[in-house]
Amino acid sequence: MTATISLEHVSKFYGDTAAINDVSFSLGEGELVALVGHNGAGKTTLIKAILGLLRPTDGKVRVLGEDPVSGNLIVRREVGYLPESVTFHLALTGREVLSFYAKLKRVPADRWRNLFDQVGLAQNAADRTIRTYSKGMRQRLGLAQALLGEPRLLLLDEPTSGLDPALRRSFYDLILDFQKKGTTVLLSSHALSELEERAERVVIINGGNKIADGTLDELRQIACLPTQIRFKPSSESAAHSWFDGPVRWTERKDKFLEASVDHSEKIAVLSAVTSDPAALTSMTVIEPTLDDVYAHFLQRQGRKP
Ligand SMILES: Nc1ncnc2c1ncn2[C@@H]1O[C@H](COP(=O)(O)OP(=O)(O)OP(=O)(O)O)[C@@H](O)[C@H]1O
């Protein structure tokens, strides 16, 4: 099956500066992948190469099997793009904006009505000018524009920056609905905690290079970051017996015992701790977060997280 996006050894140089350097990855139908990297890492350049807005210096980009710069431009109608800091003409109404983009994409102009509902914009906002829209409304309109024509590929550059937590949640709910219907989503963001539960896969770039690519669990294993296990024994005598074993337990406040356990030992330690449920009153398992994993890969590259 043709990958929705395929990049093979793609580089883009500006003079001597490599904005992206020998990057390869592909995304299949219905995948939701997070593109993560510091400011200037090369995320926007990658997205522009996928959109066909710039021609790579080297390498091959394919979107739905076509070269986005010189291939069959019909595939552009299958792609939705929400740029970072989306802006629209302030004197236009929401309806005019969506009708304009609908024409560009050759989508029936009346589709805007459904989209207003889908992105949670009140119908009466359709005839108000963008000037009167809040930041959240503008962002929702941006998403509606990206969703015109039910795209097979959605490219979202920092889509939730500046939105409050409730808006962020509804934004992701909508994106996940499209993903379930088979839309491939590539989402660039600095908000790692909100990507953690939503992205199936994470691609980390640094200084234009791809430095990691995998599910969060795969990246945790590659990084060999320990899991924190914390539990409270039900009695003093139960607590003492743990200090004689192979795991280095440390006593924390409120009589909790805590240890950092390697991925390979985690299941065995958890089985031992839970073998007698009456011997514990409480237990917590803390896996490394995407923040921890990201910091690890950056450090490996010699960059401060
Ligand atoms: N048109 C350009 N001319 C020269 N250098 C550029 C150009 N576009 C990008 N760069 C450089 O390429 C590198 C990658 O930039 P890019 O905008 O892709 O990063 P980014 O990861 O999207 O950053 P941010 O998170 O700040 O948006 C940076 O060093 C940037 O200065």
The pLDDT value recorded for residue 32 is: 95
What is the per-residue pLDDT for 6?
96
Residues of the chain with CATH 3.40.50.300: 5-220
ipTM reported for the complex, 2 dp: 0.93
Q: Which protein residue's CA is at the shortest distance from atom 18 of ligand 1?
A: 42
Testing ligand 1's pocket by substitution, the residue of 10, 11, 12, 14 carrying the most ligand atoms inside 8 A of its CB is 14
CA of 46 to the centre of ligand 1 (A): 10
User: Measured from the CB, is residue 53 less than 6 Å from ligand 1?
Assistant: no
- pLDDT value for 263: 83
pLDDT at 116: 85
Residues of the chain with CATH 3.30.70: 226-287
Question: Contacts for 143-146 with beta carbons within 8 Å, 24 or more apart?
Answer: 143/82, 143/119, 143/171, 143/174, 143/175, 144/98, 144/112, 144/115, 144/116, 144/118, 144/119, 145/80, 145/82, 145/86, 145/97, 145/98, 145/101, 146/80, 146/81, 146/82
Residue 42's pLDDT is: 93
Question: Residue 224: its pLDDT value, please?
Answer: 87
How far, in Å, is the centroid of ligand 1 from the Cα of 302? 20
For ligand 1, say whether the CB of 41 is within 6 Å of any of its atoms: yes
The pLDDT value recorded for residue 303 is 60
Q: Divide the 305 residues of the chain into consecutive groups of 10 and give the mean pLDDT of each group.
A: 91 94 96 93 94 95 92 84 89 92 82 80 89 90 90 92 82 91 93 87 95 92 90 80 81 89 88 87 92 90 62
CA 13 to ligand 1 center in whole angstroms: 10
Q: Determine whether the shortest distance from the Cβ of 148 to ligand 1 is under 6 A.
A: no
Residue 300, pLDDT score: 81
Amino acid 47: pLDDT:
95
CA distance 299 to 305: 7
- Indicate the pTM of the whole model: 0.87
Q: In a 3-state reduction of DSSP, which class is residue 228?
A: strand
Q: Are 120 and 126 in contact (CB under 8 A)?
A: no
Q: Is 305 in the pocket of ligand 1 (CB under 6 A)?
A: no
- Say what the pLDDT of residue 166 is: 83
Contact predicate 21/187, CB 8 Å: no
Which CATH code of 1.10.3210, 3.30.70, 2.70.98, 1.10.3470 fits the domain covering 226-287? 3.30.70
3-state secondary structure of 285: strand
Place of tokens 């029936």: 108
CA 259 to chain centre: 30
- Ligand 1 neighbour 186 (Cβ under 6 A): no
Homologous superfamily (CATH) of 5-220 is P-loop containing nucleotide triphosphate hydrolases (3.40.50.300)
* CA nearest neighbour of 144 among 86, 72, 68: 86
